[in-house]
Chains A and B, each alone.
Chain A
Amino acid sequence: MPFLETRNLMAFYGDFQALYGIDTTLDAGETIAIIGANAAGKSTYLKAIAGLIHHTADSVLLEGKPIGLLPAADIVKLGIALVPEGRRLFPSLSVEENLMIGGHGRKMSGPWSLERVYSLFPVLKQRRSSAAPTLSGGQQQMAAIGRALMSNPRILLCDEISLGLAPVVIRDIYAALPRIKSEGTSVVLVEQDIAQAIKVADRVYCFQEGRLSLSGRPRELTREQIRRAYFGA
């Protein structure tokens, strides 16, 4: 039984259908990457798992149990944390308060604490009292990842964590992933940056216009297959 599974996942924004029957699996400790062009439905997929978009009950299963109808506030308590697209730190909270509120709903003891997050991203410790909006883009992304880790998630959902950042900053952020994975956390990465995603992922899913267009292990996929699945034939 997979740790997390989506089965025939459909999602709608009003009349607009964003996802058409997505089937994916994630095993414990595994990292999967969801790649695809803009508007392929990648973020919608993560939001549906996190409980921000309504869909049917049995289209998302955690350890075989349907969690599709639970509100977002309950999903995080089950150990699924989302790093949302665009960071979305709380602007009126300091960096440290942003991190601390990450542990608000799930007061689980686990590998992640304020000190551990600060050791993962030391720059956050220096800026701990600063208001969140005064951080650079890269620092904000680190804070957003740290905030999600504070709930000690079993599954970390990352939405475009490299978006709008300089290559050197992206490298720093991706350097943190192995340490997160080494705590046994499963990771779902949504990325437009294929090269970055393929480097860290155990398996890759490619979305195209709300449908699954390709899946497999990175080394088994050819560039041509990925190109086609990404852009369409």
Chain B
Amino acid sequence: MLILALEMTGWLDALIQGILLGGLYALFAAGLSLIFGVMRLVNLAHGDLIVLAAYAILVLAEGLGLDPFGAALVALPIMFIAGFALQYVLLNRTLGRDLLPPLLVTFGLSIIIQNGLLQIFSADSQRLRSGAIETASIVLGGGIAVGVTPLLTLLSAILVIVILNLVFYQTSLGRAFRATSDDLEVAQLMGIDHRRIFATAMGLAFTVIAIAALYLGLRANFDPTIGPGRLLYAFEAVIIGGVGSFWGTLAGGIVLGLAQTVGARINPEWQILSGHLAFLVVLALKPRGLFPRALD
């Protein structure tokens, strides 16, 4: 009886931790989803940009003597400007009928960021330190506790998705995002400067990247090489959820997180594998994702 009860608790714990982990993956994915949705750009440097932002928060925290949350707040406007500039100066030139140039350029960017970070920060693992909050947890009873940081991660992910939905569906900027995505030529006839719209979308994505970076750094160690792995999780979450739906991206992140923790519960070595398997299963059964957009 006792063993059964313990077993039940273990599974319940895996489910809860999986959902919380899904929040982190949704944060990784939200920026990618936004950019792909607006300009059909597959940003292969997305993971490395998250790592870059984590280092930026680290430097700001140490330099200004702030805790990571304060440093992330300072990083938000800087990241917006950086994203806007990157798109306006570089990535806009790669967009056109051919899908290859943006892939190649963002792949190149990924290599540059990784090596640049290695050069400056070395290969040593880093971590964002936030004092007591790091280890704080809320006891739910029955032998289950939830960490405050993972809980904040999920809540932040939900907040980010709510805000992105509001921007996309309730503002004139969001209308311009969707119109440009629908028909670039006619959008220009409406007086929409698509280069600015794309740059604004990238700026917005960069602020989401900064939030993702904050929780990446609080949750675990990071080093300059982990970007491509985060990109893979982000991709899987977007595709599981269905391209073009932010709530789908959140659901995709949670499916991925659940698959990993449940897999790890069965056998600790299966954590990563079961995430990828869940992705393949969704791809096989629902190729357009769990929440595909009505029109596409």
A106 touches B191 (CB 8 A): yes
B175 touches A100 (CB 8 A): yes
Q: Which of A52, A88, A91, A105 contacts B191 (CB 8 A)?
A: A105
Binds B, one of A3-11, A68-76, A217-225: A68-76
B135 within 8 A of A: no
> In this complex, what residue of A is CB-closest to B179?
A90
* A50 to B194 CA separation, bound complex (whole angstroms): 16
* A106 to B172 CA separation, bound complex (whole angstroms): 13
Q: Which of A76, A101, A133 contacts B295 (CB 8 A)?
A: A133
20 A-B pairs, CB-CB below 8 angstroms? A51-B188, A52-B189, A72-B188, A72-B189, A73-B191, A76-B190, A76-B191, A77-B191, A88-B186, A90-B179, A90-B182, A90-B183, A91-B182, A92-B178, A92-B295, A101-B175, A104-B175, A104-B192, A105-B191, A131-B295
- Of residues 78 through 110 on chain A, the ones whose CB sits less than 8 Å from some CB of chain B are 81-82, 84, 88, 90-93, 97, 100-102, 104-106
B190 touches A105 (CB 8 A): yes
Contacts of A97 in B (CB 8 A): 175, 178
What are the interface flags for B253-279 relative to A under an 8 Å C-beta threshold, 1 for contact and 0 otherwise? 000000000000000000000000000
A71 touches B188 (CB 8 A): yes
B189 touches A84 (CB 8 A): yes
B182 touches A101 (CB 8 A): no
B185 within 8 A of A: yes
> In this complex, what residue of A is CB-closest to B182?
A90
Residue of A82, A88, A92 contacting most chain B CB atoms (<10 Å):
A92
Residue of B172, B179, B295 contacting most chain A CB atoms (<10 Å):
B179
> In this complex, what residue of B is CB-closest to A82?
B189
B115 within 8 A of A: no
Chain B: interface residue total (CB-CB under 8 A): 21
> In this complex, what residue of A is CB-closest to B178?
A92
A93 touches B178 (CB 8 A): yes
Contacts of A71 in B (CB 8 A): 188
- Of residues 32 through 67 on chain A, the ones whose CB sits less than 8 Å from some CB of chain B are 50-52
> In this complex, what residue of B is CB-closest to A76?
B191
* A71 to B195 CA separation, bound complex (whole angstroms): 12
* A131 to B294 CA separation, bound complex (whole angstroms): 10
B193 within 8 A of A: yes
A52 touches B188 (CB 8 A): yes
B191 touches A104 (CB 8 A): yes
B58 within 8 A of A: no
Q: Could you list 8 further interchain pairs (A-B, Cβ under 8 angstroms) beyond the known A73-B193, A90-B179?
A: A73-B192, A92-B178, A92-B182, A100-B175, A101-B192, A104-B191, A105-B190, A106-B191
Contacts of A93 in B (CB 8 A): 175, 178-179, 182
B126 within 8 A of A: no
Q: Which of B172, B183, B194, B293 contacts A88 (CB 8 A)?
A: B183
B181 within 8 A of A: yes
Q: Which of B172, B181, B188, B194 contacts A100 (CB 8 A)?
A: B172
B185 touches A52 (CB 8 A): yes
A186 within 8 A of B: no
Q: Tell me the smallest distance from the CB of B166 to a CB of chain A, in Å.
A: 15
A215 within 8 A of B: no
> In this complex, what residue of A is CB-closest to B196?
A73
A192 within 8 A of B: no
A31 within 8 A of B: no
Q: Tell me the smallest distance from the CB of B296 to a CB of chain A, in Å.
A: 9
> In this complex, what residue of B is CB-closest to A157?
B189
The 8 A-B pairs at the shortest CB distance, nearest first, are namely A105-B191, A72-B188, A76-B191, A90-B182, A90-B179, A88-B186, A73-B188, A104-B190
